[in-house]
């Protein structure tokens, strides 16, 4: 764990008089620095307040689903802290039932459902392939809404 991530979390806890364990620390996107930076900046700017993931991958990786109220530390594409977010809502729904408002909350492109669907279909096809899983229009997604509760301001 990077020292600056630990200090960021501890400062947040101290400021809000909380006593909690270190939350999950992660970067948005496909693991590339380009996507991590682009999506991370959408979070910092306030444009991105939602994200989604394949339920199948959560199951394959035996990961716990996010829960309302949980905190996460978001990293940029260079694995440096950007923000602490708090999950406000989690819903599991078929991809082809995602609403226009959720697509807008994802904050990407022209904010339309059509753009969101096209980009996420491409993303999920690539993400599912290593698991020998196929993309399908009604695949279940874990749709997570969140709010930024702290921004990292100690950039070098």
Q: How confident is the model at residue 149 (pLDDT cuts 50, 70, 90)?
A: very high
CA distance 16 to 22: 15
> What confidence tens digit (pLDDT) does each residue in 51-98 have?
999 999 999 999 999 999 999 999 999 999 999 999 999 999 999 999
| Percent of the chain scoring above 70 in pLDDT | 98
**For the chain, which domains are there?**
3-151 (3.10.400.10)
pLDDT at 63: 94
- Asked if residue 156 has pLDDT above 70, the reply is no
Enumerate long-range contacts of 118-125, CB under 8 Å, 24 or more apart.
Answer: 120/52, 120/95, 121/95, 123/30, 124/54, 124/95
Mean pLDDT of the chain: 95
> How big is the chain by its Cα radius of gyration, in Å?
16
Give the chain's length. 156
Q: Is 28 left (phi over 0), alpha (psi -120 to 50) or beta?
A: beta
């Amino acid at each position: 764990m990077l020292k600056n991530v630990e200090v960021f979390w501890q400062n947040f806890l101290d400021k809000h008089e909380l006593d909690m364990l270190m939350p999950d620390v992660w970067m948005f996107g496909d693991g590339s620095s380009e996507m991590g930076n682009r999506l991370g900046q959408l979070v910092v700017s306030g444009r991105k307040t939602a994200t989604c993931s394949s339920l199948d991958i959560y199951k394959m990786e035996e990961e716990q689903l996010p829960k309302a109220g949980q905190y996460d530390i978001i990293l940029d594409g260079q694995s440096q802290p950007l923000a602490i977010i708090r999950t406000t809502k989690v819903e599991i729904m078929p991809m082809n039932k995602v609403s226009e408002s959720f697509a807008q909350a994802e904050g990407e492109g022209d904010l339309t459902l059509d753009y969101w669907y096209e980009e996420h279909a491409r993303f999920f096809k690539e993400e599912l392939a290593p698991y020998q899983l196929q993309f399908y229009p009604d695949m279940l997604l874990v749709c997570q809404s969140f709010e930024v509760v702290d921004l990292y301001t100690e950039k070098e």
